[in-house]
Structure 1
Amino acid sequence: MTTPRNTPAASRRVRANGDGTVYQRKDGRWEAAGYVLAPGNTSKRVSVYGMTRAEALAKLTEKIAASNRGVPVVTAQGSLAAFLTYWLENVAVHQLRETTHTRYTAVVHQYLIPGLGRKKLAKLTAKDVRTWLNELRTVCQCCARGIDAGRNPNAQTNRRPRCCAIGRCCHKRLSPLTLAYIHSVLKSALEHAVREEEILRNVARNVRTGTPRPRRFNPLTAHEARAFLASAQNHRLHALFELALRTGLRKGEVLGLRWEDLDLDDGTASIRRTLQRTGTGGLTTLPTKTISSERRIALPAACVASLHEHRDRQAREKQQAGAEWADNGLIFTRSDGHPIEPSTLTRHFNALLRCSRLRAIRFHDLRHSTATLLLEQGVELVVIKELLGHAHIGVTATVYAHVRLRLQRDAIDLLGRALRNPLEATGEPDDGDDPPLCAAPVR
């Protein structure tokens, strides 16, 4: 085996300053070392290896060429699990809402770390991500995470272990929407690694998971909406349900409204906050979902009247509660003035649906009902976008594409009736007294 010691002097090549060093190791491999650009506009000595001198020299030349272009060398040596933990605790916690951070944390600990956590951050490839997503798509989550086996047979719920715990797979697989969400969390984390120059590129962006079908919702029809409002007439929270249906406010937005946000004389409401239960702060008020969600909306006359009645009722409840009243300025509260739990509002809503004999829907479907009914009445899409507080009009157009398609079909049918031959419509000969088709008004 040829070593640097017995290599003839004539065969040794002299390299210029800055080109690095190439030599043969004792194990027979060739090592090339040189200084390249590192994060923070500093330099760092790196080493590459090859089975031949030319192979090691080519690798070093590639790194030096990238350094000359201003691309820093990758410095991440830790695992993906370590970086995800750092990202959650030091970056995402300051950039995300607490509820969003809680969901991100659950995704990282339930899916990302068990599946990809052992991979080196710098060596993670698009193939690794794609293989992991394909496996995640086909694996039963009940079997993989032991959900069914972890049930306590002595609990009060009487939910005994079944399916995977007794050897019969229930095929509980993740939905396409959940897979897309998991993929988006990984992309967000790796994007921050690129910004901190830990890695050169975001390999998760090179993986295409496909566009999942939007979640189906069940908005109320005009007849069902009238029945819902009629049954809520005698409910203590009648003003809340009417406001949610007529304006499309989110559950947290309507629960977070304060009297100072209303101008009943002008008939307007300012949406500035949302009420949510968080893991650390409990039931607390947070900023709106997005900047566009902070908006000012017009109140229908029916909502103004019901809010006047609700304010009088709240004044009577405050007088009856006396010193036990919790004065927080909220419009919709419990009978003692404390905020209403979002889950409690959901129970009231479901009970109201049962009393009115309407089909079961989510509270958020009231928001979809508002937009659907407005679209069917011919309201412009940009007006609905401002009312609902969507960030972009494309969100409104995508969510309610099926409604717009139905309206297009109605418009085409209307045009077809306008362009229909009068002879085909009446079956009588044309006597020439009717005005020409082009002069007929088209609605």
Structure 2
Amino acid sequence: MRTGQNIYKRRDGRWEARVFLGKKANGRPNFKYLYASTYREVLLQKNNYEKTISLKNTQVLSNALFSDAAYSWLLNSARRWKPATYMKYKNCLDKYILPQWKKLYVREIQQGTYDRLMEVLLQQLSGSSIQTINTIISGILKYTLNCLPVKCTGKVSEHAKRPLDILSDNESCKLLTYLDHRNDLISIGIRLTLFSGIRLGELCALTWADVDLEEQVIHIRHTLQRIQNRNRLPEDPKTVLYIGSPKNKRERSIPLHPQMIPILTKYKSRYPASYYLLSGTLSPVEPRKMTRHFKKIIKSCDIRDLHFHTLRHTFATRCVESGMQIKALSEMLGHSTVKITMDRYVHLSMSFKQSQITILQFPDLKEKNRQNLSQTDQEVRENGEDTEDLS
């Protein structure tokens, strides 16, 4: 009988606890087995043994070089991450943290050490990159010391943050007019992004099976990325295409905008369900190639140089300006909280702000005086009626 926490009641009446120690050379799990006559006793043994192991690991790692502890953390945590996340953390570690801390021991990492690193990095990195570096540092130190001896407070100041672009009304009109006169799948993909807010990798991984015209939704089940080949042999390519789950491992369904339904209906019957939407074949269009197509199109439309992700920003902003509920928008974008949607993707345009400013009103002095006089007259009349009743 199992009662949780890897504790079991044996057939001989004893209680058995298992402590996971890692994996053997053959890949099978390696356990430490503890026994007692009661559940409480074996649970106490298990907790004490785990504390002993943790203390030993902490003592060993705290006396290690920070670089050794960092790579140990990477290898230990890799199984929980997607390959792209692993490479992102490893590249940030190698490029920004280890050049400054490579010769330091873990026990030497103090608040002043962290602050000096931030002084350098805040001058060259975005807020998103600083946040990633804070995640790496805190992860390594917690893994090594079971605590965080520094406060990872470094962040880009508000005035230094670059405002995220959206398409202006004029630019949106230019782009949609261009797309209206094109019948290729790339143009359909760009229009779909503008009317759904899906990410570039999600668009590239979309197949015609994900387009459900009966329910009038698209299903976001995968994302496509080109990432560094982690286990590359000398003859292997440096990068590989990787199809995995969407960001935050959140599959979702997005309702199709009415303008997209006739377009997708026209094309879906031409392709098998397993074919990719952007290519119309079994081979996907890579994100980099899709970005190049997008750049050429906006240049043809005489639109300023923008990132493909601008379409997602524009979708979110227009949804808010149109009165869409933020919770509904947050779920369509695949965010874990409404706060992320508001803070990161909703950038209200000046034209919308100008329309909203007309809602603001202050009381008019003359109108206020008229209201006061009218109220006084009414009170006089009411008092007069009350006097007549008494008489």
Q: What's the TM-score, normalizing by structure 2?
A: 0.70
Q: CA deviation at 1:400?
A: 4.4
Matches for 1:19-168 after TM superposition, within 5 Å: 40-42=50-52, 74-76=59-61, 77-88=63-74, 90-137=75-122
Assess if the C-alpha contact under 8 Å between 2:208 and 2:274 holds in 1.
no
Aligned residues: 313
Matches for 1:256-275 after TM superposition, within 5 Å: 256-275=205-224
The residue aligned with 2:241 is 283
Distance 1:415 1:137, change over 3 A: closer
The residue aligned with 2:168 is 221
Assess if the C-alpha contact under 8 Å between 2:313 and 2:346 holds in 1.
no
| Greater RCO (CA < 8 Å, at least 6 residues apart) | 2
> What letter matches 1:242 in structure 2?
R
CA deviation vs aligned residue, 1:293-345 (integer Å, no higher than 9, x gap): 42111101221211123335x54xx9xxxxxxxx94322216x5421011111
Structure 2 distance, partners of 1:356, 1:408, is: 27
The residue aligned with 1:231 is 178
Assess if the C-alpha contact under 8 Å between 2:217 and 2:256 holds in 1.
yes
Structure 2 distance, partners of 1:408, 1:271, is: 33
Q: What's the TM-score, normalizing by structure 1?
A: 0.62
Greater Cα offset, 117-126 or 387-396: 117-126
Structure 2, unaligned runs of 5 or more: 1-46, 230-238, 368-373, 375-391
Secondary structure of the structure 1 residue equivalent to 2:50: coil
> What letter matches 2:140 in structure 1?
A
Structure 2 distance, partners of 1:299, 1:340, is: 22
Rg larger for: 1
The residue aligned with 1:305 is 262
Pick from 135, 149, 155 the counterpart of residue 203 of structure 1: 149
Distance 1:423 1:120, change over 3 A: same
Structure 1, unaligned runs of 5 or more: 1-36, 45-69, 139-172, 194-198, 319-326, 425-431, 433-443
Q: CA deviation at 1:128?
A: 1.8
The residue aligned with 1:376 is 321
Secondary structure of the structure 1 residue equivalent to 2:225: strand
CA deviation vs aligned residue, 1:339-384 (integer Å, no higher than 9, x gap): 1011111111111111111122111000000011111112221121
Distance 1:134 1:247, change over 3 A: same
- The percentage of counterpart residues that share the same residue type is 22
CA deviation vs aligned residue, 1:396-435 (integer Å, no higher than 9, x gap): 111246529986775453141xx554968xxxxxxx9xxx
Structure 2 distance, partners of 1:43, 1:350, is: 55
Assess if the C-alpha contact under 8 Å between 1:74 and 1:122 holds in 2.
no
Structure 2 distance, partners of 1:116, 1:249, is: 39
Assess if the C-alpha contact under 8 Å between 2:126 and 2:156 holds in 1.
no
Distance 1:348 1:74, change over 3 A: same
Q: CA deviation at 1:40?
A: 3.3
Pick from 181, 190, 203 the counterpart of residue 254 of structure 1: 203
Q: CA deviation at 1:180?
A: 4.0
Structure 1 distance, partners of 2:282, 2:58, is: 59
Assess if the C-alpha contact under 8 Å between 1:248 and 1:367 holds in 2.
yes
Structure 1 distance, partners of 2:58, 2:196, is: 53
**More helix by percentage:** 2
1:191 aligns with 2:177: no
Structure 1 distance, partners of 2:127, 2:252, is: 32
Distance 1:276 1:71, change over 3 A: closer
Assess if the C-alpha contact under 8 Å between 1:259 and 1:331 holds in 2.
yes
Assess if the C-alpha contact under 8 Å between 1:80 and 1:116 holds in 2.
yes
Structure 1 distance, partners of 2:93, 2:321, is: 42
Q: CA deviation at 1:137?
A: 4.7
Secondary structure of the structure 2 residue equivalent to 1:297: strand
